[in-house]
Amino acid sequence: MSRYAFLATTLVALLSGSATAAEPAKRPNIVWIIVDDMSANFSCYGEKTIQTPHVDQMAKDGTRFSRAFVTAPVCSPCRSALITGCYQTTLGAHHHRSGRGVEKIHLNGPAAVPVFFKKAGYYTCIGGFNVKGKNLGKTDYNFEWDRSMYDGNDWSGRKEGQPFFMQVQLHGGKYRGGGLAPAWTERVKRELGSVTQPEDVKLPPYYPRDPVLLEDWARYLDCCRYTDKEVGDVIARLEKEKLLDNTFVFFMTDHGISHARGKQFLYDEGIHVPLVVRGPGIAKGAVRDDMVEHIDLAATSLALAGIEIPKWMQGRNIFAKDYAKRDAVFAARDRCDETVEHIRSVRTEKFKYIRNYLPNRPHLQPNRYKDSKVIVQKLRELHAAGKLNELQTKLLFSEKRPKEELYDLTADPFEVKNLANDPAHKPTLAAMQKKLTDWEEKTNDLGRKPEPEKMYDSDMAVYLGGKVGTPAHETLKKNIALMKQWAKEGK
């Protein structure tokens, strides 16, 4: 069976489960639909190239948040924060795929949300694209956790009338893979009837309209279309089993599109995500423009289920009557795989401030994962050939980065004009500097100290555990050595 056929089979199994069509429980069900590697490229968010009727309908039936952001633009730190309702930097779970070797990360006080649901009598489950048999769906937490906090991978195993907390994990932007996979194109044609045409794609100004990048973005938009179909399937199952009227459904992604300035970075392409919520009592057809963070899902879900929100939780109940709107949202980028990084940002409605703690390193540092992607390979090829314009070269391939970046998001939504050295914006810069520093101190940002070499080596031993001697293995060894060399040089 092909990989795509396997993924399709497992998702069908999830969506066609034989849950008891019981009368709605007194306590509501909570369903999180979490999607990999996808920005807010849905019709209800203004995307014009494709149509996404199911997410659009969900927005009509509920409330859409126009300014929702993740606190980490890469899977495992984001998911560690999401499942606890705490900043990954507070937990010590801020390095991507950390705690996987002999050195472990343990939570000191906070706990994962399913623990609270289970104690309250909920059936807890997590499933999706990588489910097989009784295996759980994607977790990807950087800390140690008790597998028993999940009862299964689907709500069909619960007792009759028992409320459930379900996470549906969808493959999202990962369907297109790291290259231009013909199998994905054929699947889209077969299941959706057509593919998005590359010539219809609109790219941000910092990406060249190269055929490879246009084709990749078109296939990404097909991932959005396919995700939309899967969302419709989940809603249809809940409706068929007479559960929808008593279920709160949250739809969001774990970070933005996987691209050279998206995933792993703190520009809006990496941290702005869709968030739509529907359920009993949720305003229909409403749009909220206030800023929310993805860690708010934990507190909000507990509150909707009538479960007390722990005092240590940093997320907020965004539907509380006394909810105080945020005046800023924060995000952090740290080590991703073998590549050491330390970036922080604060975003208000109008401005974005980014602090690069390692400014002497290039934007696209060597990274085996990203460098294996055809789009990054093409960008490097175009740069080497001198075929990128001045803006693209500056933003993607400068040998060093500014220590500070400041963007006026109203005038410059693509974040290409850095105002940090503009005298006219000196008061704004100072205010944003203070906001970020205060947040780092208040939340005890553990990234203020470098990752211990013992922990780095422990995790790198896991990465190096693959096939020795392969090009990928040798690339990883080279990158690890370079990271250590740069650290010794103070770079």
Q: Considering only CA atoms, which of 125, 146, 149, 124 is closest in space to residue 135?
A: 125
Q: What average pLDDT score do residues 64-91 get?
A: 98
Q: What is the pLDDT of residues 174-184, one digit of tens each?
A: 999 988 889 99
Task: Look over the chain and give the mean of its residue pLDDT values, rounded to a whole number.
Answer: 94
Q: Considering only CA atoms, which of 287, 292, 298 is closest in space to residue 272?
A: 292
Domain boundaries, the chain: 3-325, 333-450
Residue type, 199: E
Q: According to the model, what pLDDT value does residue 129 have?
A: 58
Give the percent of the chain with pLDDT over 70.
94
Residue with tokens 């994990």: 169
Q: According to the model, what pLDDT value does residue 2 have?
A: 38
CATH domain 333-450 topology: Arylsulfatase, C-terminal domain (3.30.1120)
Q: What average pLDDT score do residues 151-165 get?
A: 95
Measure the CA–CA gap between 478 and 483, rounded to whole angstroms: 9
Q: What average pLDDT score do residues 136-148 get?
A: 96
Binned at pLDDT 50, 70 and 90, residue 135 comes out as confident
Q: Considering only CA atoms, which of 264, 305, 313 is closest in space to residue 85?
A: 313
Q: What is the pLDDT of residues 83-98, one digit of tens each?
A: 999 999 999 999 999 9
Q: What is the pLDDT of residues 288-337, one digit of tens each?
A: 999 999 999 999 999 999 999 999 999 999 999 999 999 999 999 999 99
Measure the CA–CA gap between 247 and 31, rounded to whole angstroms: 7
CA distances from 428 to 360, 423, 425 (A): 25, 10, 5
Q: Considering only CA atoms, which of 124, 71, 115, 69 is closest in space to residue 93?
A: 71
Q: According to the model, what pLDDT value does residue 133 have?
A: 65
CATH domain 3-325 topology: Alkaline Phosphatase, subunit A (3.40.720)
Say if CB 78 and CB 72 are below 8 A apart.
Answer: yes
Please give the model's pTM, rounded to 2 decimal places. Answer: 0.94
In this structure, what are the phi and psi dihedrals at residue 173, rounded to the nearest 5 degrees? -65, -15
SS3 string of the chain? CCHHHHHHHHHHHHHCCCCCCCCCCCCCEEEEEEECCCCCCCHHHCCCCCCCHHHHHHHHHCEEEEEEECCCCCHHHHHHHHHHCCCHHHHCCCCCCCCCCCCCCCCCCCCCHHHHHHHCCCEEEEEECCCCCCCCCCCCCCCCCCHHHCCECCHHHCCCCCCEEEEEEECHHHHHCCCCCHHHHHHHHHHHCCCCCHHHCCCCCCCCCCHHHHHHHHHHHHHHHHHHHHHHHHHHHHHHCCCHHHEEEEEEECCCCCCCCCCCCCCHHHHEEEEEEECCCCCCCEEEEEEEECCHHHHHHHHHCCCCCCCCCCCCCCCCCCCCCECCEEEEECCECCECCCEEEEECCCEEEEEECCCCCCCCCCCHHHHCCHHHHHHHHHHHCCCCCHHHHHHHHCCCCCCEEEEECCCCCCCCCCCCCCHHHHHHHHHHHHHHHHHHHHCCCHHHCCCCHHHHHHHHHHHCCCCCCCHHHHHHHHHHHHHHHHHHCCC
Measure the CA–CA gap between 452 and 467, rounded to whole angstroms: 26
Residue type, 389: N
Binned at pLDDT 50, 70 and 90, residue 9 comes out as very low
pLDDT of residue 276 exceeding 60, the answer is yes
